[in-house]
Each structure stands twice: as C-alpha cells, then as structure tokens.
Amino acid sequence: MNNPDTHLDVLWYTRCPVPTGLGIAIQKGWLSDSFRRRNTEVRSLRESNELAIRESHFNHSLQNSVRHGGSIPAIWARAAGRDTRLIGLSWCDETQRILTLPDSGIQSVKDLRGRRFGLPKRTHVQIDFTRAQALRGLENALRLEGLTVPDVEIVDFPINAGFSDTAAQNDTGHHVSSGGGGQNMEVAGLLRGEVDAIFSKGAVAIEFADHFGLRTVIDTGSHPDPLIRSNNGTPRTLTVDRHLIDHHFSAVVLLIEQILRAEAWARDNADETRRFLALETNSSESRICTAYGKHAHRQLATDFSETSIHALQDFSDFLHRWQFIPAAIDMDSWIDARPFEPFARPRAIGA
C-alpha cells in the first residue's frame, strides 16, 4: 500500500534526443509550469555538473527521477537490481539502416555473409547501448535471410569516452540535449575501407547516408513485423524510481497527464511538432520526415499495448542472450500501470 504523498522538492528528468511526449512537454514548458504550482522544481539531470547524477540517465540511481527514452539503459538498470517501475511505453518507428559504400558489392543482406561489419565497443560505460542496438539491427536483418551473426566478421571499434563525460547544454530555456555517443569511429572505418557495412538509426542515419553517399542495404525499421523493428527505440520506456511512485504518487500522475497533453497537442499540430522534433534530435525537419515518417506527430502515444510489451520482452531476452544485461527480467513484474488509471487510455500503438 502506498504511503501518503509527501512534498516533492525536486523532480529530476532525463530523456534521449528522440521523439517523445516528455520531450515536447519539456520544450513547451508544461512540465515545469505544472510542477511549479506544487512548489516542485523540475531539473534536468543531464545538465548537472556532477557525473554521478548525469550517469543516472543510464543506471537510474537518482531518487525521484523519471526517464523517457531508449529501452536498453532502463532494462539494464532493472536487470542490475535498480528498484524502478515501468509506467509507460511509446512506439515511434524510426529508420534502422545497414549502410555500405556504393562500390562494396553488397546489394542485399545475403551479400553480408563473410563480410566485415563494424560495431562500436565502449570500454568505460556501464551499458554499451550503441553496441547492443547495432548488434540487434544486424541480427534482425540476418534473420530475414536465414543467416546469423557468426556468418559475418565482426570488427570492433574501441571507444574510450563515456556517455556522460560532459554536461548537456541548455540553449533554449526548455530544451536540454541528452548528448552522448556518436558513430564517428564506425563511419570513419567504413570510409577508410576497414569494414564493409555498419548499422545506424534515426536522423543520424539519414545524415550519414546523405553526407557520405552511403547506400542502404536494408531498413529493418520499415519491416512489417514489429519484432524485426523492435530495438532500443521501439518501444521506448518511461520509467521512474520506486521511491517516487511510492511517496509521490500524485506527482507521477501529474507527469503522465502532461505527457499525454503533449502527445494530444502533437496530433493536432504536425508542422510545429516536426520543428520540436528537429530541435530534440538536433536535425532538420526534412530529415525528421525521412527518419520517423511524415506522421511522426501521430506516433508519440504512450500506453501499454500488448505489441509493445511483447516486443520489449523479446528485446530484453536478446540483451540477456548476448550478455548485455546480468539477468533476465519479466515485464509483468516491472510494469506499474496505476498512474494511467485516471486517464483510461486506449491500448493502440506499436502494431
């Protein structure tokens, strides 16, 4: 049984530079305004000057915090023993590409057999989500042709930098970039001829293809099977720590309210939403359309669809099989849908 709500001094938030309702609620100032009326300050943990606080984006160690973004860090934190609760899932399809040079001779996924595939390998991070998502994209593509990862030659690109080495910058008053990690090492390796193909997703994949004339071998992000599309960003997890939901339940309900408000606004404001998403992803509006589709403003819905839950469980099982997480996790024991009850949200995403 929940303890009675106590006053919440600070709500910490973090999100990835991807399309989410939380990101829009923050950019429009709705999150901070609604909590200000409760005398609660809203802070971005990625702006903190303390590394331990910034690292909570990945390990969810900070009390009274909410995170909306890629699922790998949230899954890893749960598997590592963090007492968190999954309070929502959002599914906004994004491009997930295997890229190669035009003269590589790789015309289809079958041509990847025996070829060199570049993967990032970070040595100073708690969870190497960039490697995990690239490996997932590769494995899913190979599955479609009856191939497996050992059928290609994996070439590692060691990266010593961490994801939270520097604080994110707040340039607009509401927007705070999540920062962290690019793919310069793999791209450079591809351009130098050290590998034959790499994986990239989202707006950055479009930028790489455009800037360097790379060819797309396959885009698993557009496949009709949601399990093939399932990766770090499909679905995305909305999580809070146990203390927040136990001691400040009404704050979690208010958080959900503002996220749903932002998503409803987005559905009616396509052009402005694209501008917000371009700012969120540090990209252009045209690349937003290519990376996330012309109807991305309609795909920000947060709920608990059966498709999303099933896809997240499948992805979690993949992470455990490849030893990215220390233990298997069960979605049913992680989910806490109580904050959604006041809104009676239909379950209709991810299909």
Instruction: Specify which residues 90 forms β-bridges with.
Output: 236, 302
Q: What is the mean pLDDT of the chain?
A: 90
pLDDT value at residue 114: 98
Indicate the pTM of the whole model. 0.90
Q: Count other C-beta atoms under 10 Å from residue 248's C-beta.
A: 23
Among the listed residues 2, 30, 8, the one whose alpha carbon sits nearest the alpha carbon of residue 251: 8
Q: Indicate the pLDDT class of residue 51, thresholds 50, 70 and 90.
A: confident
What are the chain's domains?
10-92+234-343 (3.40.190.10), 96-229 (3.40.190.10)
pLDDT value at residue 161: 64
Give CA–CA dist 64/12, Å, rounded.
6
Which of 28-37, 44-53, 166-175, 277-286 comes out lowest in average pLDDT?
A: 166-175
Is residue 129 within 8 A of residue 73, CB to CB? The reply is yes
- For the cut 70, the answer to whether the pLDDT of residue 93 exceeds it is yes
pLDDT value at residue 165: 42
